[in-house]
Amino acid sequence: MAELLKDKVALITGGSSGIGRATALACAREGARVAVADIATAGGQETARLITQAGGEAIFIQADMTKATELEAMVNTVVETYGRLDCAHNNAGIEGALGKTAVYEEAAWEQVIAINLTGVWLCMKYEIPAMLTNGGGAIVNTASAAGLLGVPNMPAYAASKHGVVGLTRTAALEYAKAGVRVNAVCPGIIQTPMVSRLTGERPGMFEKIATAEPIGRVGKPEEIAESVVWLCSDAASFVTGHAMSVDGGIVAQ
Ligand code: NAP
């Protein structure tokens, strides 16, 4: 089988866990050299180890999505290590506190927006110039079905993910002629530690959200990873500014 990302260098944020780890493994399987970035060191090192154990090339870079200096250093480290940056999956994110709009705490709001939205913008701020120096690249931002629909009790999360969709479309238009494609993936409910945190302490909640999926089950991180690999690859060479739902049909309802 052809390797979709042969000779490419891919950076994945939130690569210690869940969707990010699955994407890092899938990018490596498709021939990319992979930089795994996350605030969580042990999980990120484990993702890199899984890649090298399978015969791939990977490094781990610790970076906090709320710190611009760390994100600039993250991109610089990728370029210093591998000589270029071709693909970036800006994926790190948190669900944040739950609560209706009128009672939501300001500090909780700011934390979600800082990581999920400002963090994605800052990643692109440093990734795009690095990509332009080698003629272009592909960025995939992780939005959510919550970037296309309202989600009661998650005002900051839904706002951050709607913001990611708008930012993705804007950057796509700005850099289309320069050869940088920018897309978003909008996952439905995916079985990751994030969803375990949201459902874990509430009996019956996991089963309830699974039935909310038209397809009749929650998704697997690997099912998001496959769409990210495709969007990053030259197979998607005419796709930019797209918010791709990979959601078991939630947004189609
Ligand atoms: P996850 O397993 O919790 O992975 C998220 C990763 O991001 C974790 O390793 C986390 O580290 C890291 N992270 C959190 N804050 C960070 C920060 N400030 N700087 C750097 N890294 C940070 O969750 P996931 O479900 O894979 O989520 C990945 C992305 O998919 C998120 O953007 C999420 O919003 C989105 N998404 C998920 C679903 C779903 O159903 N799972 C649906 C739609 C969209 P810690 O573990 O240390 O916090």
- Residues 23-66 have pLDDT tens digits of 999 999 999 999 999 999 999 999 999 999 999 999 999 999 99
User: Which residues are CB-neighbours of 204 under 8 A, at least 6 positions away?
Assistant: none
Nearest CA to ligand 1 atom 46: 40
What does pTM read for this prediction?
A: 0.98
Please tell me the distance from the alpha carbon of residue 35 to that of residue 247, in angstroms, as a whole number: 26
Cβ contact 149:251 at 8 Å: yes
In the predicted model, what is the mean pLDDT of the chain?
A: 96
Structure tokens at 95: 């669900």
Query: What value does the mean pLDDT take over residues 85-108?
Result: 98
Cβ contact 76:52 at 8 Å: no
Q: Which residues line ligand 1 (CB under 6 A)?
A: 14, 16-20, 38-40, 43, 64-66, 91-94, 115, 142, 144, 187, 189-190, 192-195
Ligand 1 centroid distance, CA of 1 (Å): 31
Confidence of residue 205 (pLDDT cuts 50, 70, 90): confident
- Residues 142-199 have pLDDT tens digits of 999 999 999 999 999 999 999 999 999 999 999 999 999 999 999 999 999 999 898 8
Of ligand 1's listed atoms, the one at least distance from the Cα of 146 is 43
pLDDT of res. 1: 54
Ligand 1 centroid distance, CA of 43 (Å): 12
What is the amino acid identity at position 137? G
Ligand 1 centroid distance, CA of 91 (Å): 7
Percent of the chain with pLDDT over 90: 93
The full set of domain ranges for the chain reads: 9-189+223-246
pLDDT of res. 9: 98
Of ligand 1's listed atoms, the one at least distance from the Cα of 143 is 44
Structure tokens at 240: 């930019």
- Residue 12: helix, strand or coil by DSSP? strand
Residue 76 CB neighbours (<10 A): 14
**Superfamily, domain 9-189+223-246:** NAD(P)-binding Rossmann-like Domain (3.40.50.720)
Confidence of residue 137 (pLDDT cuts 50, 70, 90): very high
Mutational pocket test of ligand 1: of 194, 197, 222, 247, the residue with most ligand atoms within 8 Å of the beta carbon: 194
